[in-house]
Amino acid sequence: MKKGRWAVLLGATVIALAAGLYLGMRSQSDNASDASTLLALSLPDTAGKSQPLGQWRGKVLVVNFWATWCVPCREEMPQFIKAQQEFGPQGLQFVGIAVDDADKAERFAKELGLNYPVLVGGFGAIELSRTLGNRVVALPFTIFVDRHGNVSHTQLGPVRPDQLSSIVSKLL
Amino acid sequence: MIALPAFSQVNPLPPERAFRFTARALNPQTIEARFAIADGYYLYRDKIRFTAQPVTAGLSVPPLPQGKPKEDPFFGRVETYRGSLVVNLTLKDAAIGQNIVIQAESQGCADIGICYPPQVQQATVPIRAANAAPARPDESRKSWFD
């Protein structure tokens, strides 16, 4: 990867992490179910372009923290692809945040045929996830946000297909 | 909030308890490095690294013992450790009375379906002519992104 691209990713990650830490602390004291922490973030996609999560406000947003070195993460992703395809037209939007570098995330996204955006947080993203409720700082970690911008559910560990179906159907 | 599923009731261990690292000097030339791996957790062999401070102590790491093979669709054949892992590290130039900091980098997962990011733990080992208890791991836990 070119040095410039690394610098952009690193800078964006640091900014996002700082925002997450600040907003996370504020969010906890204001309203634990408020997703404003998350929706205020911007992270680079695998091409290095900054993507604000707020662009998906109003949709049922499923934010999945994952990594290529995390087998359970990779195993649950095919069902996300399927759900995105099936419920995307009804307003469901998955977004992956890779706790990894851009090259590995991009390679894996292509291999698996991900049909939803992958943002790149690097290893700093695991700390970001901590501010969003991932107390054990392990992966996968998934956050479900309703159309009104509230966190309806967070989960550490794989989301089972029946859970995904149940949660999403209530939110759509 | 939607009711939490059964999995959410499980309390996974923090990584420093799931993969507890200690080290002790067996003699001025040999450090025994040990991971005590909690039940239901495992470490990846190819993610384990050891370093020592000061570097003038001349740490030498032997090949790690063979782990349990596992096929990974993304990384190919990998090996894992469960239960415990003991590695005897060699020091070329440690002096009696010196404190050596052994730093262990590792990455592992739990059977309940979660993986931890790479962790760095360290233990301070006093070098004595005859040694007793293992050095306690330092309180500070580091990781790659610190």
A115, HSE (Cβ side, Cα atoms, 13 Å): 14
Q: Which residues of A touch B109 (CB under 8 A)?
A: 70-72
Residues A30/A140, Cβ–Cβ less than 8 Å:
no
Q: Is the pLDDT of residue A27 over 80?
A: no
Roughly what angle, to the nearest 10 degrees, separates helices A71-87 and A102-112?
Answer: 60
Owner of token pair 């372009």: A49
Do A157 and B143 lie within an 8 Å CB cutoff? no
pTM over 0.95: no
Residue A8 has which token pair? Answer: 């952009």
Helix (H, G, I), strand (E, B) or coil at A84: helix
All domains in chain A, ordered by first residue: 29-171 (3.40.30.10)
In tens, the pLDDT along A72-125 reads: 999 999 999 999 999 999 999 999 999 999 999 999 999 999 999 999 999 889
In tens, the pLDDT along A110-167 reads: 999 999 999 999 988 998 899 899 999 999 999 999 999 999 999 999 999 999 999 9
Q: Which residues of A touch B107 (CB under 8 A)?
A: 69
CA–CA separation, B17 and B32 (whole Å): 19
Nearest-by-CA chain A residue for B13: A136
pLDDT, residue B11, reads 85
CA–CA separation, B139 and B146 (whole Å): 15
Q: What average pLDDT values come out for chain B (146 residues) when binned by 10 residues?
A: 46 94 95 97 97 95 96 86 98 93 97 95 90 57 48
For the CA atoms of B4, B6, B8, B13, the dihedral, rounded to the nearest 10 degrees, stands at: 160
Do A126 and B114 lie within an 8 Å CB cutoff? no
Q: What is the DSSP letter of B92?
A: S
Q: Which residues of B touch A137 (CB under 8 A)?
A: 15, 116-117
Q: Considering CB atoms only, which of B114, B118, B144 is closest to A138?
A: B114
